[in-house]
Chains A and B, each alone.
Chain A
Amino acid sequence: MFWSTGNNFGGPRITFKDYQNEHEIVLNAVFEYDSTSAAYQEADHLEIYVPTLSLAKSAITNVYFAAKKDGYWCGTMLKAWIKNANTICIEKLDAWDDCQEHKIWFCSMFGTRGHKTVEFDLVRKSGVSMSHDGPIGYISNQIYYEGEHYVMLAFTTGGISYGYQGKTDQISNYTPFPADIDVVLPYITGQFYYRSKGAVMIDVEFHNSVIDVPALPENVSYGTGYTPFFYAFAVRDGGEEFDE
């Protein structure tokens, strides 16, 4: 775990949960910032200053972004990259600049390029068979990789069950997810809000070997093909600490 040392957009001090080695970095963090700040307005892209990372530079990866419109967090994916060992950059998309409250979730893997030789060592997906007991629909497209230091999990769900209002859900795996994961991640609900671009997102907690889904937002819309999904990398606490 480490803390940011500054940023160029008037954001807060950010707590990162991390796994780092010479080939990849996995980061988890969630934070909000004020898009009306002068620092944000002047920034071409967002920069977060951090203690020295294991990679001096990374290829493009992604982070989730949402803006609060009438109480709903609506958003998309943004590009992110490590510019140098002390700076993480995030693309600035001005499509939601009419909303004051912005939020970003890191649940991302950063990798490198430029290697002249690559010995291929393809990994195997881990077994997964998820179930749930609430209003989110049938879970499909399940992709799961359980590594020693992090997990990667992606899946989609069907439409929301009738009478979902106010009901929470809990997602678990037949072989329990690792108990050493404790992070807040976004769930793309498949809903949209007519006054905003992007998808409605909510915070879910991946902890105690389950994913806790809070009550889904009400008074928002669903459309054909708007598939809810979850896609994230999550750092395991049992992994070795990175020695700087």
Chain B
Amino acid sequence: MIAKPSIAFNDFAGTAGDVTSRSVHGRTILSHKAYQDKTKTPAQAVSRNALAKISRAYKQLTDSQMRAWETLAGHLKGASLFGEAASMTGHNAFVRLNSNRAYIGEDMLTDAPAWDVEIPQVRFTDWCISEDYICFTGVEDEAERYLLVAKMSDAQSAGISAGYGKIVIISPDKVPDWGDIDLTAAFSSVMGGSPINGKKYFIELYWIDSKTGITGIPARVSGICQPGSQISGETFGRRIAVHDSDLIRDEYDHMHNMSVEFAPGSTICTVDAEYNTGDYNVASGKAIITKEMSDRFPNFRAYVAGRRGAAGNYWPCWYEVNKWKWGQDYEMNFSNRGGLWNRVGLVFGTSPAFQF
């Protein structure tokens, strides 16, 4: 038999089974053993790979560069520029700002940026989280150098009030799209599903200065997944727009970076899309949309221009863009009507939407 020492009553720090003991100021503190979360979001993958590289890079800085980072750290720790007031060394500041920049694809900064910058706070007028839509509206545009970072938790019990420790970055570089920050696809991509009715979600939004990596004070909200506005409870208005995430990718996987949207008045259709029809031998890019999406707008035709890609010498073209039901499919077509057809190109423009 092996005799195990008691971690609770002996002068011992360590782990036995699922219990961890540590000595703090002469007192023995017991806690449940912490296991590392094996979930790894894309942002975490970037961070974990980049952190070691960034940390090592600090040692390569000159003395004057290190002094500048120490100076910056001294100013940052009281300013809550990272959303939390904590002591910070030059090394901390270097790693933190450069890992922030790594999230958004920026190169490493070796010279400390100016510390006296004011990062705006995210402001919005309404938001919703339902099973098929997560969106903030009325988000004010900021200068081009600012990108919006969104963090979200996975589904939590409705009674939980402190869930911000569970949030992870789901999108590091959003910019408002006509005032909207749509997190639906980002949530699905990172969490692997959709929000669940009745569950609670915690969300944090903040701006990051892409030039410096300095972040603003976060805006935090939490809400129960349900239809309608989280503020008024009323129906949450939704744009009539078709994007890549609305397409059913089957044999017609032609359209990419697709964005078709309708505006009121005599209805106006705006189109911005790329196509690559591969071996399909018809001068038309096809996209299949869901019935739910199709039901949101009538069959229509619009006429917009575009061009072939660089390999096609940028030859100009014009296209009919339409939506109709063909067999069991709800199709959108981008059919070449004039100019030299090529299997790769761009369709972009604005047109009245015509009756089909």
Q: Does A132 contact B (CB under 8 A)?
A: no
- Of the candidates B313, B348, B350, B356, the one having the most CB atoms from chain A within 10 angstroms of its own CB is B350
Would you give the 0/1 interface string for A142-178, flagging 1 where the beta carbon is closer than 8 Å to chain B? 0101010000101110000000000000000000000
Interface residues on B, range: 35 or more
Query: How many residues in A have their beta carbons less than 8 Å from beta carbons of B?
Result: 56
Known contacts A124-B354, A125-B354, A152-B351, A113 near B267 by CB under 8 Å: no
- Tell me whether chain B's interface is mostly helix, strand or loop, or mixed: strand
Question: A60, B339: Cβ atoms under 8 Å?
Answer: no
Q: For chains A and B in complex, what number of residue pairs have CB atoms within 8 angstroms?
A: 174
A78, closest chain B residue (CB):
B307
- Of the candidates B237, B238, B305, the one having the most CB atoms from chain A within 10 angstroms of its own CB is B305
| Residues in B neighbouring A155, C-beta threshold 8 A | 338
| Residues in A neighbouring B228, C-beta threshold 8 A | none
Binds A, one of B44-52, B109-117, B247-255, B257-265: B257-265
Question: A23, B348: Cβ atoms under 8 Å?
Answer: no
A168 to chain B, nearest CB (A): 21
| Residues in B neighbouring A228, C-beta threshold 8 A | 338
Question: B341, A225: Cβ atoms under 8 Å?
Answer: yes
Which residue from A59, A125, A152, A230 sits with its C-beta under 8 Å from B270?
A59
| Residues in A neighbouring B356, C-beta threshold 8 A | 122
Known contacts A120-B297, A152-B303, A23 near B263 by CB under 8 Å: yes
Question: A198, B338: Cβ atoms under 8 Å?
Answer: no
A3 to chain B, nearest CB (A): 23
- Of the candidates A22, A64, A108, A227, the one having the most CB atoms from chain B within 10 angstroms of its own CB is A227
Q: Does B239 contact A (CB under 8 A)?
A: yes
CA distance A199 to B314 in the complex (A): 8
CA distance A198 to B312 in the complex (A): 8
Known contacts A188-B338, A229-B338, A118 near B318 by CB under 8 Å: no
A184 to chain B, nearest CB (A): 17
Give B285-320 interface residues, CB cut-off 8 Å to A. 297-298, 300, 303-307, 310, 313-318
CA distance A124 to B238 in the complex (A): 26
Chain B residues proximal to chain A, CB less than 8 Å:
137, 177-180, 237-241, 261-270, 272, 297-298, 300, 303-307, 310, 313-318, 337-341, 348-356
Top 9 A-B pairs, shortest CB-CB distance: A114-B178, A116-B237, A229-B338, A23-B265, A59-B270, A76-B314, A111-B268, A111-B350, A231-B318
Other than the given A23-B265, A60-B348, 16 more pairs (CB < 8 A) read: A23-B268, A57-B178, A58-B350, A76-B307, A76-B316, A77-B307, A93-B314, A112-B268, A114-B180, A115-B239, A120-B353, A121-B265, A123-B353, A123-B354, A143-B337, A188-B339
Chain A residues proximal to chain B, CB less than 8 Å:
21-24, 57-62, 64, 75-77, 79, 93, 95, 108-125, 141, 143, 145, 147, 152, 154-156, 188, 192, 197-199, 223, 225-231
